[in-house]
Amino acid sequence: MADFAADLLNWGFWIFLFVASYFVGTYREKAHLKSIVEREKRLLSLPALTLKFAEDRPVAKTELVMGSVVIGGDFFKQVVASLASVFGMRISVAEAMMDRARREAVLRMKEKAVGADAILNVRIEGLKIGERKKITGIEAMACGTAVYYSK
């Protein structure tokens, strides 16, 4: 009976963490996505392009702009990701996380380029933080050249 209670306590802790991290994680993800969509619409008029050359107009100023973000992988996502990795299936929890991170990084980059006419030669990178198979978090970084044309 004592063993049973100890097991229950031991495993109950992880099960509770799993369930709690699912609800908290889902809530946070939804809130973040909502804010991303809103800001993306607001910053739509500033193009972020992979083109390397500016338009044929006099350029007043260029500048390196960069935005980066780190998002933590919660316990629920880690468990689901490790399950998916057993079969080589699509890890949709990680897809959602990476997508959020990349979009957030681009947004931060755009927010950095105040008053620019365009951001050129944009590069986006992502990397995993955490030892071995563990996903403690992911980082996404976007950088490019902000171009200000002469008025």
Report the distance separating Cα 63 and Cα 57, nearest Å: 17
CB atoms within 10 A of CB 122: 19
* Shortest distance (Å) from residue 113 CB to another protein: 15
Contact call for residue 52 and another protein (CB under 8 A): no
Query: Site for another protein (CB under 8 A): which residue of 17, 28, 40, 70?
Result: 40
Query: Which x/- pattern over 111-150 shows residues binding another protein (rule: CB under 8 A)?
Result: -------x--------------------------------
**Cβ-based nearer residue to another protein, 33 or 66:** 33
Sheet holding 137-149, edge to edge: 59-72, 137-149, 118-129
* Shortest distance (Å) from residue 74 CB to another protein: 10
Instruction: Please name the residue that has the structure tokens 């403690």.
Output: 136
Query: Site for another protein (CB under 8 A): which residue of 32, 39, 47, 148?
Result: 47
Contact call for residue 50 and another protein (CB under 8 A): no
Instruction: Write the single-letter amino acid at 130.
Output: G
Q: Please report, for residues 24, 62, 82, the alpha-carbon distance to residue 57 in angstroms, rounded to integers and kept in the order given.
A: 50, 13, 52
CA 32, 38, 142, 125: dihedral to nearest 10 degrees?
Answer: 50
Which stretches of the chain bind another protein, using CB under 8 A? Answer: 3-4, 7-8, 10-11, 22, 25-26, 40-41, 44-45, 47, 49, 55, 76-77, 79-80, 83-84, 86-87, 89-90, 92-93, 95-96, 98-99, 118
